[in-house]
Amino acid sequence: MESRVQAIALLLLGCALAHGQTVAPVTASTLPASAAIPGISLANTAPVPVSAVLLQWSLPVPAASRVSRASAIKFYDAATEPLAAKPIPPHGSATVPVAAPGQSVPQVLAVLFTDGTSWGDAASVGRLAQRRVYMLQALTSSLADLNAAATSPAVTKAALLGQFQSAESAEQATAADGDQKACIHSVRGPALVNLQGPAALSGVISHEISQAQSRLAALKAYGVGQ
């Protein structure tokens, strides 16, 4: 499977300019604070649907700070967050709900299309592709733990909570970079919250398995993990 995933990443890297466009095929603009869903609006100007976008914008730096420049990034990806992000059709739009970036204009660094092509510099396109690999690994690991717990009559809520806490710490300790750490937390984090809530253990396990399976299915639909 790993070789297959690596091949997908290399393919995406080899398609840095897609559909003959030399300017970003997705435009990004900041929505006003009064908007129903404040954040960043994405508009697809390409002739094919967009599956993922990597955004960056500058952050305000306090006058007394020695930092000359700071920036924030945001991933919009229908493969890794299928409930929150949907493919953007040609001439369609989507809203990314993030804290308003102020006066900074969001910059589109990379775009992945549903037909397997991409736009952007090699490093940014590769970052989107690698993040999908990280998410696949995090989901596979978490699902294995959940399936084992579902078939164990002796498992308790406290025991599974401790197992997930230990697993998240161990996986983040060996993570390759911040993107992988974020993917691990996005998978393990919600389970940790739910395990500390009032819901019955069986319900939590069932919910988390369903969520993981849905996200894995989305990744598979985009050719990751096949």
Same domain, 64 and 158: no
Same domain, 93 and 186: no
Same domain, 76 and 149: no
Domain-ending residue, one of 81, 96, 120: 120
Residue 226 placed within a domain: no
Per the structure, how many domains does the chain have?
A: 2
Q: What pLDDT does 8 receive?
A: 47
Same domain, 186 and 154: yes
Residues 125-129: what's their mean pLDDT?
97
Residue 9 placed within a domain: no
Residues 199-206: what's their mean pLDDT?
96
Q: What pLDDT does 33 receive?
A: 75
The range of the structural domain enclosing residue 135 comes to 129-221
Residue 8 placed within a domain: no
Strands in 93-96's sheet, in edge-to-edge order, are 26-30, 40-44, 93-96
Residue 83 placed within a domain: yes
Same domain, 66 and 142: no
Same domain, 113 and 169: no
Same domain, 98 and 163: no
Same domain, 46 and 99: yes
Residues 2-28: what's their mean pLDDT?
59
Domain-ending residue, one of 120, 142, 165: 120
Distance CA 122, CA 138 (A): 24
Residue 100: pLDDT band (50, 70, 90) is: low
Residue 7 placed within a domain: no
- pTM for the model stands at 0.86
214 vs 104, residue with greater confidence: 214
Place of tokens 């204009």: 105
pLDDT at 110 exceeding the cut of 80: yes
Q: What pLDDT does 176 receive?
A: 97
- Token digits of residue 55: 């955004």
Same domain, 148 and 189: yes
Residue 5 placed within a domain: no
Domain-ending residue, one of 120, 148, 176: 120
Residue 171 placed within a domain: yes
Residue 160 placed within a domain: yes
Q: What pLDDT does 15 receive?
A: 46
pLDDT at 22 exceeding the cut of 90: no
Same domain, 92 and 170: no
Q: What pLDDT does 38 receive?
A: 78
Same domain, 153 and 211: yes
